[in-house]
Amino acid sequence: MDGFELQSGRKHDSRRTRANILAAASRLFAEKGYSAANISDIADLAQTTKPMIYYHFGNKEALFAAVLEDVYAQMREIERAVPMADVPARAAMRTLVEATFDYHAAHPDWVRLIAVANIHDAQHIQQLPTIAAQNAAVLAILDGLLQRGVAEGVFRSGIDPLHVHLLISAFCFHRVSNRHSWRLVFQRDLVEAEEAARQREVVVEAVLRYLS
C-alpha cells in the first residue's frame, strides 16, 4: 500500500518541504480528485503553509503535474522486475504480468491519480515533456519478449505489443480503479486478498493464452 510519511528536520530545508508537499498532494489528489483536493488541506497535511506550495510549485495545476511526474517515475520500477535475456519467454512474460499486477495492487493511489488525470483529459500529463520517452520503455520490453517467444516457438507472431500492454494494464488498473462500483454492483470486493490471488492467475492465464 502507498505509505504517507513526512520528513522532518531543521527549519529552512527546501528539499524536505518540497518532498512533503509532493507526498501530501499525491495523497489528497488521489483521495479526493483534483478539484475536491484543496491547497489548504495539502498544506496542513504537509505541515507547511499555502504560500510555500505556491513558492515551490507555482499553482495548483503545476502541483498536480509535479505529482504525476513523480508518480510516473516511480512506476518504472516494474520494468526492473522483468527478467532479462536468459529466462524463457513464457516465464518472463508471466513475471512481467505479475509485476504489473502487483504494482497496481500495491499502489492504489497511483491508479487513482492516473484516473483523475484522465478525467481532466490528461492535460497535466501533457505538461510533462519527458513522460513519453520514459514510458515507451515497456513497449520495447514487450516487443522483445514477443519476438523471443516467437523464436522459441511459444508465442504466435503478428501480435501488437501495445495490445498486450493494454490487455494487461486494463485488467490490473480496472480492478483497483473501479473497485468501489464493482463492490456495490456485484457485491464482491475485487481487492480482497484471496480474490486478488485468483485474479492474478486470471490475467496471467489470459495473456499467455492470448499469445499462444
Q: Is 60 in the site for DNA (CB under 7 A)?
A: yes
Q: Which partner from the list a second copy, DNA, none does 49 bind, CB cut-off 5 to 8 Å by kind?
A: DNA
Instruction: Name the residue type at position 12.
Output: H
Provide the mask over 100-129, with x wherever binding to a second copy is found by CB under 8 A and - wherever it is not: ------------x-xxxxxxxxx--xx---
CB closer to a second copy, 13 vs 201: 201
Helix, coil or strand: residue 165:
helix
Q: Determine which residue in the list 174, 189, 191, 196 makes contact with a second copy, applying CB under 8 A.
A: 174
Q: Determine which residue in the list 6, 36, 140, 197 makes contact with a second copy, applying CB under 8 A.
A: 36
| CA separation for the pair 22, 186 (Å, rounded) | 36
Handedness of CA 136, 171, 106, 64 (dihedral sign): positive
Three cell numbers written together for 68: 504525476
CB closer to a second copy, 21 vs 34: 34
Stretch that binds a second copy, among 39-47, 54-62, 142-150, 158-166 (CB under 8 A): 158-166
Three-class SS of 178-193: CHHHHHHHHCCCCCCH
Grid cell 513464457 — which residue? 90
CB closer to DNA, 41 vs 98: 41
Q: Which partner from the list DNA, a second copy, none does 52 bind, CB cut-off 5 to 8 Å by kind?
A: DNA
Rounded to a whole number of angstroms, the minimum distance from the CB of residue 69 to DNA is 17
Angle at 115 between CA 114 and CA 116, to 5 degrees: 90
Rounded to a whole number of angstroms, the minimum distance from the CB of residue 9 to DNA is 9
Q: Is 180 in the site for a second copy (CB under 8 A)?
A: yes
Rounded to a whole number of angstroms, the minimum distance from the CB of residue 90 to a second copy is 15
**173 near 111, Cβ under 8 Å?**
yes
Q: For the CA atoms of 22, 26, 29, 32, what is the dihedral angle to 10 degrees?
A: -130
Region of 3 please: left (phi>0), alpha (psi -120 to 50) or beta: beta
DSSP assignment letter at 85: T
* Residues at the interface with a second copy (CB under 8 A): 32-36, 112, 114-122, 125-126, 131-132, 135-136, 139, 160, 162-163, 165-167, 169-171, 173-175, 177-188, 190, 198-199, 202, 205-207, 209-210, 212
